[in-house]
Amino acid sequence: MLKKTLVGSLIFLLYSPLSAYDLRSNMLQLGAELAEVQRSFIASDQQGVEDSIKRFAEHSQALLGDKDIFAKMLPAGKKRKAHEAEMSAKIISHNVQIILDAIDNKHNQSGIVRREEAQRAYTYIEHACFRCHNLLRDEYK
């Protein structure tokens, strides 16, 4: 039994990046992905926005969407704040959907209106990220 567990764990570790368990690495990855969304907006690259927002959404949900998993990554004194990450994941998910709806023209709006709504949703995503980050990092003095 122990041998099977050990072998399974080793296989899991071999196929999983170790950085997946490092909160800082994950936050840097999400920051880079969010910056890519912004660059795509600035370049008016609709396909780039769609691709990068989907990638960001997938990774943010995987990291933030499960309060219990996220709590395990936090220092002992911050574990009780893991629900903030879960709330941020919900806000992010909602605003990602707004962006995707705008790209698909789900509400039959003009290009300018869709672009502005998508960009506004992007800023709400940024705000959710910063809010969670500020609540979970070191205390302000």
pLDDT in tens, 4-14: 444 454 444 44
In the chain, what percentage of residues exceed pLDDT 90?
49
The CATH class of 21-136 is: mainly alpha
117/24 Cα distance (integer angstroms): 31
User: What's the mean pLDDT when you consider all of the chain?
Assistant: 83
Residue 66 to residues 8, 17, 60, 85, 90, Cα–Cα distance (Å): 23, 19, 10, 8, 11
Residue-range domain boundaries for the chain: 21-136
- pLDDT score for 4: 47
101/108 Cα distance (integer angstroms): 10
- pLDDT score for 5: 47
- Specify the DSSP element, H or E, that contains 22: none
Is the distance from CB of 86 to CB of 70 less than 8 angstroms? yes
Is the distance from CB of 103 to CB of 49 less than 8 angstroms? yes
Q: At what angle do helices 23-42 and 46-64 cross, to 10 degrees?
A: 160
In the chain, what percentage of residues exceed pLDDT 70?
82
